[in-house]
Structure 1
Amino acid sequence: MGTAQNRAPFEAFVARRWVALACGLIAVGATLGMTGTATRASPASRAALTYEAVDQIPAYVVEAPEWTADVRDAPLERALVAFDINTHDVTFGPLTLVGPHDSYRIFDPSQSGGTWAGPVELSPDGRYLMTGHGQQTQLLDVTTGRTRMLRAGAPLAWSPDGRQAVLAHFDGDKDAYPVSGQIRIVAIPSGEVLWSIPLEPGPLPRSVDAVLSPDGSTMLVQRHGDLYAYRRGSGVVWHRSKSIDSLPGQLAWNPDGRSVAFDNTGLCLVAADTGKTNRCLNWRFPLSQLTDAVQAFGSPEIVAWEGQTPTISVGNAVVRVSATPEVLLRTPRDTRHVKIASSRVRWIPRQPGRPDPGPAIHRYRPIINIGGLAIVGVGVVNVAIRLRRRCARRPTR
């Protein structure tokens, strides 16, 4: 009897110690497990570079190293280049973002915005990234890692100053016929609709291109091979049937405001005020003369102008299409999209350094989260076992 009485306080002491230890493990595990959630909910903002800041374009970019940090956890000062690899699946992610000082981050649009429909547009200043999700646009602020949905439409282009975005909204579901809707110009980052252009009923498919003039007053729209120029407050300025393929990106409008490029087996320039064709450039032939072959598949996208000479993104390269073409940037083979912060890069290639994948706490966040949850689970099970044994040893009365 005495022995049992002596053991009871000792067993109670041991049980309390086990409970305390388990609670400590739970606290540690919860802290580790919640690290990702807390930081993801309120990421450490990076101070954006000054408005005038520019960086030399890297001569090449590579696929993001394994365990590269997510930009939502470890924001960048801005993105200079954004690209993804062609996997024959338009919903594939993530995108790779390359910032100043060879900083690399990843961003999977589908994780925060739902099914990714493929479109992606980087603002000229590199602060914002738009991705298309059905008839909505996910807006990522690269400097904070925060995202929001713009419900006015899917992304088409940025204004030259990056303060406005051009979105497309179609009426009805994807099979609705005839196809009608609006092109909406919205303020960034609020998404407020500033003005819009009607899309008259037309045939399938639901496709349209649009580009804003440098002063933001006029919109050029390409739809089913026809070109339309709309001026805010005035309506249609001119309409031409050109049987063109596409408008080559948000910089299709030359910064001088006098001409706009379209793609029709070559890059052709039309007068912005009349729609009259001025000249055409066979961009494929100069690329074929390069010593190192460029994957010249798909349509070109203009990413810069030097006077009347365009710099285009095509395949896995960015090329200045001059009399002697020059490759300014190479991307990994089978790159599907490559977007450039056009107003924040200096078009003088530099040899990049080793990719910086970001802080370790953010790179290994998945492992930390899983480890934290495992510790919590072990602690809970341990407490349950000890309490059950303690109850089993307690004498019944």
Structure 2
Amino acid sequence: MLQLTVLREQTAQVVEGLNKKNYKNAAEEVNALLALDQQRRQVQGQHDELQSRANAISKEIGVLMKNGERAQAEAYKSETSELKQKTKQLAEQLAAVEEQIQQALYKLPNLPHESVPVGRTPEDNEVVLQHGEIPKLFEGALPHWELIQKYDIIDFELGNKITGAGFPVYKRQGARLQRALINFFLDEAIAAGYMEVQPPILVNEASGFGTGQLPDKEGQMYHATEDNLYLIPTAEVPITNIYRDMILPVEQLPVKNAGHTPCFRREAGSWGADVRGLNRLHQFDKVEIVQITLPEKSYEALEEMSRHIQGLLQKLELPYRVLRLCGGDMGFTAALTFDMEVYSTAQGRWLEVSSASNFETYQANRLKLRYKTESGKTQLLHTLNGSALALPRIVAALLENNQTPDGIRMPKVLHPYLGFEKIG
């Protein structure tokens, strides 16, 4: 959530940033919010003035009663009663205005970092680097949705029978591949200094607001209405909310957590060839890495997270590229995002497998996640997260890129986790 002080003091820069993110009516909404803030300060001033007057009179009443000036004391009591009533009305008015401000702030996305490219669509994203050679497949190579049927390792029809479309059943070597990748990703995260946590996969409304999924992605989240709990779209939500309403000691920074969870996304409105097979699911597994850092260290941390994710892709022997997302393709809460995409040779296209983002103070402001400076002043921390990694498209690329006429070879780094070297 953006800070009101930033809107007041850097109004032009805020509008410019919102426009870069293609936020509609940016100037109008910012000006309306600032008008509400002015109204709030006026009401607050009136409230405080009346409260101060009432407190002063209350002290006077005691003195008057002690001196026997009962008539004047009674007059003051009557005035105090009127002041309390007006103060109560102003307090109610103040609460209403503050709620309006809060809801207006929830609607504004984070401001993009200065390095974010201008653009509206994925075609405007900037390719930062590309690594690895794209393999050449033999004639008759298959896309992953045909490979998994050929080797009977993932069953979409069975998942559809049990739950619905987008909830596959992994079996035999497919299930073992899932488990191997999860353990590999977690072991690599632990070796990189991340503490493993296993958080709940249902979160309350406060957690959804804390990391910015609510109200922005309310329609994309599965909602258990009776208990008002949400199935998580990513482990970022529960892991980051561990630190909600906390002041972290500087000596404990950076906080580095990693966790594996299933993730749930309704993906409303998704259809077509681009979502076929494992390309887009309603339930999938992912290992997430989260960092909480001092503001001056956060972009160094983002680079570190990007290198960690790239290291995983290199060990899996997958060709990949890194994109710096443009303003129009970035997430609601992010200030800067790097996407990692692997090349799917059988499909002939790049598949996003990870996003690493710096949210700067946006989430921390919602979470009231802070630290104290040397002078004792309380300041907001910066939060970051990244997929390291999401499994479905990694599995799709591994199956497609490594297929041979005699089976699907697995990268060497997974052999100890799998207990086999090829599928089939």
TM over 0.5: no
Q: Which structure's residues are more often helix, by fraction?
A: 2
Relative to the length of structure 2, the TM-score reads 0.22
Q: Which structure's residues are more often strand, by fraction?
A: 1
Relative to the length of structure 1, the TM-score reads 0.23
